[in-house]
Amino acid sequence: MKTLLRAFSFLFVAGGLSAQTLGWQPSPGHTQVPIWPGAVPDAQPAAGPESVITNNNPLVAGRPWISVERVSEPTMTVYTPKGKNTGVAVVVFPGGGYVEVAIDLEGTEVCDWLASRGITAVLLKYRVPGGGPYYDEQKHRRVIPKVMTALQDAQRTVGLVRSHASAWHINPQKIGVLGFSAGGHMVAAISTHFQQRLYPQVDSADQESCRPDFAVALYPGHLSLATNSFGLNPDIDSHITTRTPPTFLLQNEDDHVDRVEDSLAYYAALKRVGVPVEMHLYAEGGHAFGLRRTKFPATNWPQLVETWLNTIGMVSD
């Protein structure tokens, strides 16, 4: 986390921010809707209005990427399948260190890909900053806030998707989650925290299960206790059971933001209780590449995920 925040600071100092607008809006043909019908639970004061920033430094696969900051009103945006509808749905959690949301690189671009494969994609713009685990530099340990607002948003969204299964032509037993970096941590969090909501029930959608039927975590963070440690974050480890959903993990060994120990620690913990898990590790490829192809083999992950979904019976050839 310390490294990630330093990287964000560098972007501001180095002039990597080329444009800023207020409030993110999806592309034409898509509508974002609030996930909470009234007051947002455990609302935290915002430092200012939601803002959208175009980042040019670093470029990813030669292109800028867009981040959303100061999200206080979480929303979801539905991307309907193009062509054949497989009945599968995926809620997408972009990364951003629980500081911002990488809305296109790890969000809209991924949803477009899923929709092209006949999968209903639901983009969650969750609350940031905060809302997830952070690193206590003085005590050198992971610290879990009393209220994980981003996880509240994730639980609410999965329940909403399941409540709309019939209307959206979704199989309610084929609803998964997919996330990157901090969003990858949220994949693990909702995969292990689904038996009880972290907020008072709002409506009938909260009576639906928020357990994902499968989970995909790409270069996840906040899972291992420390660098070179294979101990798992206890807030995740203590909640892993045989009901934790089948999981797909992918990470690069030269990822210096969220290190390979994060995936390894979670993999080992899942294997220990018999949860089906598939993991792919690569020597090079770094961090935060999203769906964009580069020379590194890790960016072929969409084909690997499609094969895995077939293997676990979510989709068929």
pTM of the model: 0.90
Give per-10-residue mean pLDDT for the chain (317 aa). 32 35 87 95 91 91 94 96 95 95 97 97 95 68 79 98 97 98 96 96 97 97 79 89 98 88 94 97 92 94 97 91
Q: How much is the pLDDT for 146?
A: 75
- DSSP output for 46-65: -SSS-EEEEEEEEEETTEEE
Q: How much is the pLDDT for 257?
A: 83
**Residue 16 belongs to a domain:** yes
Q: Which domain holds residue 19?
A: 2-39+46-311
**Residue 130 belongs to a domain:** yes
Task: Read off the CATH number of the domain in which 78 is found.
Answer: 3.40.50.1820
**C-alpha span between 248 and 246 (Å, rounded):** 7
The total of structural domains in the chain comes to 1
**C-alpha span between 233 and 207 (Å, rounded):** 28
Q: How much is the pLDDT for 21?
A: 59
Q: How big is the chain by its Cα radius of gyration, in Å?
A: 18
Q: How much is the pLDDT for 3?
A: 34
**C-alpha span between 183 and 95 (Å, rounded):** 5
**Residue 287 belongs to a domain:** yes
| Bond prior to 58 in cis (omega within 30° of 0) | yes
**Could you tell me where the DSSP H helices lie in 117-148?**
none
**Residue 317 belongs to a domain:** no
